[in-house]
Chains A and B, each alone.
Chain A
Amino acid sequence: MKNPYEVLGLKEDASEQEIKSAYRKLVKKYHPDRYSDNPLSELAEEKLREINEAYDALMGSNKSKNNKEYSNSSNSSYSSNNYNDFYQNVRSNINQGNLDAAEEMLNRKKDNSANWYYFKGVIFVGRGWYERGVSYLQRAVAMEPNNMEFRQTLNRVNQRSSGFSNNSYRYNNAQGDNCMDNMCQVCACLYCTDCLCGCM
């Protein structure tokens, strides 16, 4: 296993507070929801596993409940009355990354159902055809407005662009934590020096 401090991006003398804070940030960053409908979702899962292992190694038996929460959320955890074997198979193909197979199944059986548009949308997004992807997902949501899975997927996909167009999101990610920590330290030091030394 890799050095757990390295995995969490910490120095070897990090405090428990620093470990927990780093862990929370990384879990948020590599959360499955951010990497769903994306060919790298397995790699993100692996990274998350690595992070969880590193955290467990450093914190002993103090397992975070996050461990259980973030298991393969790309599989819908609730069942809907609409799903039959055909769409279950399409879904499992998509989850395994077999977009070609899933697409072929849908092309052979075009039933114009909300499910059909939903899975077509998911496949297009996974292939990087975002205009078509979003359009098909919107159609699915319009056909079944009460279907939470459809809505959540569409929201997640729209979140990708709306999140990135936010200035503070970008600057936080560009600079990471180091810059802000340094600034805090500099300001804190100046303040203390000012209090202690009359000539500042």
Chain B
Amino acid sequence: MFGYVLPTVSELKVKEHELYKAYYCGICHSIKKRYGQLPRFLLQYDMAFLAMILEGLINKKNNVENRACIASPFKKKAVICNDNVLEYCADMNVILGYYKLKDNLYDNKNFLYYIPISYIWVKVHKKLKKYKTKLDIIETQLKELRELEEKRSNDLDLLSDKFAEIMKQIFLYPQLDEENKKILQWLGFNLGKWVYIIDAYDDIEDDLKKKQFNPFITDYKDENVKDIKDRNKTRIKNYLFHCLDQVAKSLELLDLKKNINVLKNIIYIGLAEQTEERCNN
């Protein structure tokens, strides 16, 4: 579900790539500061995207420091330091990671998942109390998504809508003016749709094997992967590019003071190329 929102590194300038990595490291450090070492395994690239947008709206300069890194013991790494934005993104990262674990538990019925789930809950539930409204909405959407999955729904609009609403909450950073909040919500919503659909499409083979729910499978017994993918290629091409178009248009309305090139690379090249790959395969 995560790790799709990435730039095409070969099209980034070296300094832009370094900047992007510094944001990723910044969130990692923020997770460690707030929740300790172990929740860092939940770190995702997707939140670096959000951090770059929020920082781009709020501050003109990037505040970078060199810090020691657990993954790079001999060399210090450049890390973005801004407490408010990175703290928020770290919290959102942990929330998404936590729900992803719960989702895995539900799908695989592997009780070992209870170990990280309980550990994270103990570490984070106090600090996340301030996001109660967000968490309630996210839990409702997940519950409704699960119900649709149990019915083996093929309704792409309805299914992707649930995850889109979750991402809308994630992108709703409280310390923004109403205008920017509106833009980010629409951006997050469409990004959520894109992620859900592309993830579901990628999971077709796996889900067919394990007889697990997938919105593109209609006959869990007799169909083969190639037929399912051929049948749905044009459908997802239209949908995914439609979502990306709206993400791009939202980004263009934001008054970003910095980080623009990396963000544009992610949307116009990174995400678009990933879409092309699926559709022309």
Contact = CB atoms under 8 A, between A and B. Distances in A.
Interface stretch (A32-40, A81-89, A109-117): A32-40
Given A40-B250, A160-B241, A164-B244, A131 B157 contact: yes
Contact of A171 (B193, B246, B268): B268
Interface in A143-162: 157-158, 160-162
Contacts of B248: 164, 173
B241 A43 contact: no
A50 B107 CA distance: 50
A44 B268 contact: no
A5 interface: no
Interface residues of A, number: 31
Contact of B249 (A34, A129, A134, A176): A34
Nearest to A176: B264
Contacts of B275: 165
B242 A130 contact: yes
A24 interface: no
A29 B250 CA distance: 12
A176 B186 CA distance: 23
Contacts of A132: 157
A172 to B, nearest CB: 9
B133 interface: no
B161 interface: yes
Given A165-B237, A171-B268, A128 B164 contact: yes
A63 interface: no
Nearest to B179: A43
A130 B157 contact: yes
A163 B245 contact: yes
A174 interface: yes
B272 interface: yes
Contact of B11 (A43, A162, A174): A174
A170 B242 contact: no
Contacts of A20: none
Given A38-B249, A131-B156, A161 B190 contact: no
B10 interface: no
A182 to B, nearest CB: 12
A133 B143 CA distance: 25
Nearest to B254: A43
A29 B241 CA distance: 18
B238 interface: yes
Interface of B: 11, 156-158, 161, 164, 179, 182-183, 186, 189-190, 193, 235, 237-246, 248-250, 252-253, 264-265, 267-269, 272, 275-276
Nearest 6 pairs between A and B by C-beta? A174-B268, A161-B241, A129-B157, A160-B245, A164-B241, A161-B242
Interface of A: 29-30, 34-35, 38-40, 43-44, 47, 124, 128-132, 134, 157-158, 160-165, 170-171, 173-176
